[in-house]
């Protein structure tokens, strides 16, 4: 069995660059949740496709604006210094489900 020698592409400075011809253009679109948010309601998005476009799931960005309140729902004092904890998104969500064409492909609890 012959082994081929390879090199990391970042270090391969002398080979000609490959030209990508598959993607003609790219764009970002802002998608709003399907329903307005309430306590314990799911955060649901519907992204329709037309068969002509490719959706790169690795480039999906979830932008959240969060507010820290007291346990009773009251405002915190402006003098409080409340830093976020590590992996704040992991503590905000208890479950994640991803569906493609109404078929569940990911379910993490």
Mean pLDDT of 42-50: 85
Whether the CB-CB separation of 18 and 9 falls below 8 Å is answered with no
Q: Is 88 left (phi over 0), alpha (psi -120 to 50) or beta?
A: alpha
Q: What angle do CA 7, 11, 15 make, to 5 degrees?
A: 80
pTM higher than the cut 0.85 = no
**pLDDT tens, residue by residue, 5-28:** 887 878 888 888 778 888 888 888
* Both structure tokens of 19: 């030209």
């Amino acid at each position: 069995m012959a082994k081929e020698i390879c090199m990391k592409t970042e270090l391969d400075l002398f080979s000609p660059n490959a030209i990508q011809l598959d993607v003609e253009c790219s764009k970002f679109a802002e998608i709003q949740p399907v329903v307005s948010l309430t306590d314990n309601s799911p955060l649901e998005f519907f992204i329709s496709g037309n068969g002509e476009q490719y959706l790169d799931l690795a480039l999906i960005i979830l932008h959240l604006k969060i507010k820290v309140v007291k346990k009773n729902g009251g405002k915190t004092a402006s003098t409080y210094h409340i830093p976020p904890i590590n992996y704040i998104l992991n503590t905000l969500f208890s479950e994640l489900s991803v569906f493609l064409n109404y078929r569940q492909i990911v379910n993490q609890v």
